[in-house]
Amino acid sequence: MSTTEQFSTDAAVQMYLPLMHELAIRIELVAQACAGNLNLTPPYAREYAYLQFRRMCELIALGCLQLHGDLPLPKSTKKEWHAEKIMSLLHKNHPNSFPVAITREKTPEGWNFKAIPDALTIKEFKKLYNECGSVPHRGTIRSLEANDNFNEADYHKVSEWLNKIVELMREHQIGRANGIGYYIIALRTESGYPECNTFNVNAPGEVTVSTLKMNVSNEVVHSYIANRQP
């Protein structure tokens, strides 16, 4: 992985924001599927949701990997795709590498940030990722013989997972190792795209703040809605 001398927070954020834009699109796709707007019956909507959840977990893990590019991780980490393994490697080097859901409140002294308790935790993240490895599969001969049908609780679980992901990522903070700074990311802003505030601690009581916006090109997928000819 990159060393501290080679690491650039600005470059890392510019790689992170498109991942968050894609995450927001996939969140909307699951919401549309659950609302019946994708013409999927409930069993197929559930299966589709878990395929999207798997991609969301991968986006979160890869995003964290980008923002923690100055951690002393093995070079093989760059080739890792397994979301749980990525987060375990990061957590081993930096226990606070996982996003923290926050909400902001304007006060006379400035902005006050508070953690949100009901958002997805790293433990739940791993549980969800493991479920994503089993739910989309058709099963084994034994499970087919059991003829277990889906029930309403299965569908409610999809909504619960989606809500937890939204709560986590709507606005989240990711702290850098050794207390040298942190990132605050908003998944959607007035621009329609994610934005990030970087806080770099230069000295005790001295913090440099900068705002980074997503560079949008024609190659970026802007929405889950496909372009249609009139």
List, for residues 69-109, the tens digit of each pLDDT value: 999 888 888 889 999 999 999 999 999 999 999 998 777 77
CA distance 214 to 193: 7
In this prediction, residue 178 carries a pLDDT of 83
Cα R_g (the chain), whole angstroms: 19
pLDDT per residue, tens digit, the chain (230 aa), is 444 458 899 999 999 999 999 999 999 999 999 999 999 988 889 989 999 999 999 999 999 999 999 998 888 888 899 999 999 999 999 999 999 999 987 777 766 778 888 899 999 999 999 999 877 655 444 443 444 556 778 888 999 999 999 999 999 999 998 888 999 999 999 888 999 999 988 877 788 889 999 977 776 677 776 554 43
CA distance 196 to 37: 31
Q: Where are the alpha helices (DSSP H) in the chain?
A: 9-34, 42-67, 83-93, 122-132, 141-146, 152-169
Domain definitions of the chain by residue range: 9-213
List, for residues 189-209, the tens digit of each pLDDT value: 988 899 999 998 887 778 888
